[in-house]
Amino acid sequence: MAMPSTRNKLAADWIVRMAWRDSRRSRSRLFLFVSSIIIGIAALVAIYALGDNLEKDIDNQAATLVGADLVIHSNHSLEEAEQRLVDSVKGLSAAHSEERSFASMVLFAKNGGTRLVQVRALGGDFPYYGKLETVPEAAGTDFRNHRQALVDKTLLLQFGAEVGDSIKVGDVLFEIAGRLNQAPGQSGLSTTVAPAVFIPLAYLDATGLNQKGSRINYNYYFQLPDGSDADELAGGLDSLLEVHRMGYDTIATRKQETGRSFSDLNKFLSLVGFIALLLGCIGVSSAIHIYIKEKLGSIAILRCLGASSRQAFLIFLVQVIGVGFIGSLIGAVLGTCIQQFLPLVFKDFVPVDISSDISWSAILQGIGLGVWISVLFALLPLIGIRNIAPLNTLRLSLDSQNPVKDRLSWIVYGLIALFIFGYAYLQLSGFLQTLVFTAGVALAFAVLFATASLLIWLVRRFFPASWSYLWRQGLSNLFRPHNQTVILVISIGLGTAFIATLLLVQEMLIARVSLSASDNQPNMVLFDIQSSQKEDVAELVTEQGLPVLDQVPIVTVQLEAINGITAEQARADSTLQVSRRALGGELRTTYRAALSDSEKVTAGTWVGKTAPGDTARVSLEEGYANRIRVSLGDTLLFNVQGVRIPTIVGSLREVDWNRVQTNFRLIFPMGVIDNAPQFHVLMTRVPDDVVSARMQQAAVRQFPNVSIIDLGLILSVLDEILDKIGFVVRFMGGFSMLTGFVVLVASVMISKYQRIKESVLLRTMGASRKQILVITALEYSFLGLLASVAGVLLALVGSWALAIFSFEVPFVPDLLAMGLLIVGITAITVFVGLFNSRGITQRPPLEILRKDI
């Protein structure tokens, strides 16, 4: 007789019907499996939506980012030709404004508080788009016509000043006309670093701060008549502006620039969210693995009744797609809710108001990604269905396919790796970065996997047979069939590693700055000291009982030619091997006879004095020399305030930048630029905040043009920035932690179905409720402890590498904080474990025995 005909071709509707029927009794468990991806999808949908909204907001608010149609900027005062160029644009514009901005000290008259701020001397009606948001509102316009200032809200808060008080900028006392809440293009982070004080441009000269050698930025804002194309105009001026070392911004360029920076931020956040999703996927894979194991009997029966392996596989695949879709949908809804709060989290980083509109494209992307990734990770256990023999209906088959030898499972592993790489590549757009990210993720997973496997092996190998029964039972749960040790160690460990790394890096950054506070290193720098004030400032410092640790002259020079090639020649011939960016650029340099203790010659010889008539042999910092592509013996031509000075690169130096100290990319020997126009920097060491404040007040009163920066200010600014960044990282890391705990809850509940019968048998044999709880608590303590220790170790290794290779600081981790983190995570794990196992002890044994689970 012939083979039966294939009437039962793959009937899609039957497969879907079977998937539906089979899921009826296990829907809550199936949902539990995909619950692990909900958080990851929520994170991604929220981040994608933030990205969409940001893009839209930057588009809509681009004009207010610049405040004008065109801005021309320069970091030097305009020469005649340059002024003509700016004037010609003024002729084409409908309105124009001028601003000079620079760092300077201000003094609050009320309490003598001083601080380095960004002074913006403004003339004209800028901004033309958006406004200076002030309280009172009229102050944003009115201050321009009076001796009044607008002061950043954080400054007012910091010094307890109010509208109506006085603030001294240079030699002039201004009335505080308003509290500045927002200026075009400013973000919370930028005001933390350099809070702004606006004053009318008309009063700038009176302040005495507009002196030769002062580092002032010149901005010219233009509003163009309707119908004018700012980009076309700026494009026409581009080469001229480049020649004069000036730049420009239009709404389009700022939009592009802002969009690019926030797209980078968004991509970074997406990667963090993606890690949370990956964690969840491992949870899905592990849960489906157990689910399929339990379905072994049903699958064997179906096979026995004539279902093909493909049909059996498809039934469970359809279930995974279904629950993956539902999980992703819930994740998308949750993500859309979270997204409503993201503007609050990111408001300090973004110079525009972020809207929180629902992004349908983000929702669709999230759902698509969720379904795809659930299927991809569920495939590993699902392909095992192909190997379930119908003989399992009679007895467990002795022939079982080794997954390692199953070619299809390697294809799935390959697909997973390809997917991670592909996703990361879309975010990072660089092959090497993608490779590093993928390898990093793989390494972290591999380390945690190896740790868990090692633990299982160690517990089995050195099982403490002499311990009490409860301890032995708790320990043996770590390696018995259906254990969740590996998955829990990976998910909780990775979450712990996130948080621990964050803590350690934050500490390291603070330590890196605090390092300067040690011994007799300077911790206060006074700069912008005119030559005529040099002696008097030094005297003031001494009068205050403070040491003058160093006094350094600073000369501004311009690099005109490298090995005889000028900027003009370099522009004309792109084949010339010189750095066009360096040519024409300004450098702040000094001259001295000997190197400081933070410098070390690595090539050539440092000659501290140049004899009259000799060519000076300058010294370059190694990194700078590499960047401008020059080496020992090359010639550099400098323009020092109109005088051309030829030099030879005589030596290269390694510089320790980790100090509150003046360090330079270029230094001259004595005898070359000693008489050039210069200003001075003085370094001292203040013992405490009180002396620091007294010193700053005295200096600002006597020498208003002198700016002061102290370590306390650097530390407080750094602290504030790290706090803001830390909050974002903690927020994002929280997704991974949360996923870890969802995976934990899901795993506990899945294993509960397996443990329940055993616990009931134990109870039937006389085990008390307390004993069952102790066994459970011990098991989760071991798991939590191992996962958190593994996570902390991973973080320690990563942070150590960062400390040594990136921050170049000694690695001294806060072990107490790490210890507390381990205890905390373990406690939460035990709590979650016990909380979810409570059903085991609360139900009477007979009820469960009757159900024959």
Partner 1 sequence: MAAILSVKEVGKTYESAGKSLTVLHRINFEVEAASTVSIVGPSGSGKTTLLGLCAGLDRASLGSIVLNGVCLDELGEDDRAKVRNQYVGFVFQNFQLLPTLTALENVMVPLELRGERGSRSRALELLDKVGLADRGHHYPLQLSGGEQQRVSIARAFSNSPQILFADEPTGNLDAETSETIERLLFNLNRDMGTTLVLVTHDMELAFKTKRVIRMKGGGVISDEVTQPKEL
DSSP reduced 3-state for 494: helix
* Nearest CB to partner 1, comparing residues 10 and 81: 10
Q: Is 704 exposed, middle or buried (0-12, 13-18, 19+ CB in 10 A)?
A: buried
Q: Closest distance between partner 1 and the C-beta of residue 836, in Å?
A: 24
Helix (H) or strand (E) holding 552: strand 548-562
Say how far apart CA 815 and CA 514 lie, in whole Å: 19
Q: Closest distance between partner 1 and the C-beta of residue 731, in Å?
A: 41
* Nearest CB to partner 1, comparing residues 13 and 226: 13
Q: Closest distance between partner 1 and the C-beta of residue 313, in Å?
A: 11
Say how far apart CA 150 and CA 433 lie, in whole Å: 44
| Apex 363 CA angle, 282 and 728, nearest 5 | 70
* Nearest CB to partner 1, comparing residues 398 and 690: 398
* Nearest CB to partner 1, comparing residues 20 and 425: 20
Q: Closest distance between partner 1 and the C-beta of residue 393, in Å?
A: 5
**Residue 621: what are its φ and ψ, rounded to 5°?**
-70, 135
The answer to whether the beta carbons of residues 833 and 538 sit under 8 Å apart is no
Q: Closest distance between partner 1 and the C-beta of residue 328, in Å?
A: 24
Closest-CA residue to 444 (of 396, 513, 497, 380): 497
List the beta strands (DSSP E) in 666-767: 666-668, 679-684, 707-710
Query: Is the peptide bond preceding residue 127 cis, with omega within 30 degrees of 0?
Result: yes
Binding site for partner 1 (CB under 8 A): 1-4, 6-9, 11, 14, 17-18, 21-26, 297-298, 300-311, 389-391, 393-395, 397-399, 851-852
Q: Is 457 exposed, middle or buried (0-12, 13-18, 19+ CB in 10 A)?
A: exposed
Q: What is the 3-state secondary structure (H, E, C) of 437-477?
A: HHHHHHHHHHHHHHHHHHHHHHHHHCCCCCCCHHHHHHHHC
- Beta bridge partner(s), residue 566: 561
* Nearest CB to partner 1, comparing residues 30 and 251: 30
Q: Closest distance between partner 1 and the C-beta of residue 28, in Å?
A: 13
Say how far apart CA 182 and CA 77 lie, in whole Å: 27
* Nearest CB to partner 1, comparing residues 386 and 588: 386
* Nearest CB to partner 1, comparing residues 125 and 406: 406
Residue whose pair of structure tokens reads 């080469």 in the numeric block: 239
User: CA torsion angle for 551, 557, 561, 567 (degrees, to 10)?
Assistant: 140
* Nearest CB to partner 1, comparing residues 2 and 404: 2
* Nearest CB to partner 1, comparing residues 18 and 234: 18
How distant, in Å, are the alpha carbons of 207, 216, 705, 758, 842 from that of 774? 75, 70, 71, 15, 15
- Beta bridge partner(s), residue 116: 105
Q: Closest distance between partner 1 and the C-beta of residue 450, in Å?
A: 26
* Nearest CB to partner 1, comparing residues 2 and 432: 2
The answer to whether the beta carbons of residues 50 and 345 sit under 8 Å apart is no
The answer to whether the beta carbons of residues 634 and 559 sit under 8 Å apart is no
Q: Closest distance between partner 1 and the C-beta of residue 851, in Å?
A: 7
Residue whose pair of structure tokens reads 């040099």 in the numeric block: 534
Q: Closest distance between partner 1 and the C-beta of residue 29, in Å?
A: 11
* Nearest CB to partner 1, comparing residues 226 and 852: 852
* Nearest CB to partner 1, comparing residues 3 and 690: 3
The answer to whether the beta carbons of residues 762 and 849 sit under 8 Å apart is no
Tokens describing residue 767:
């085990």
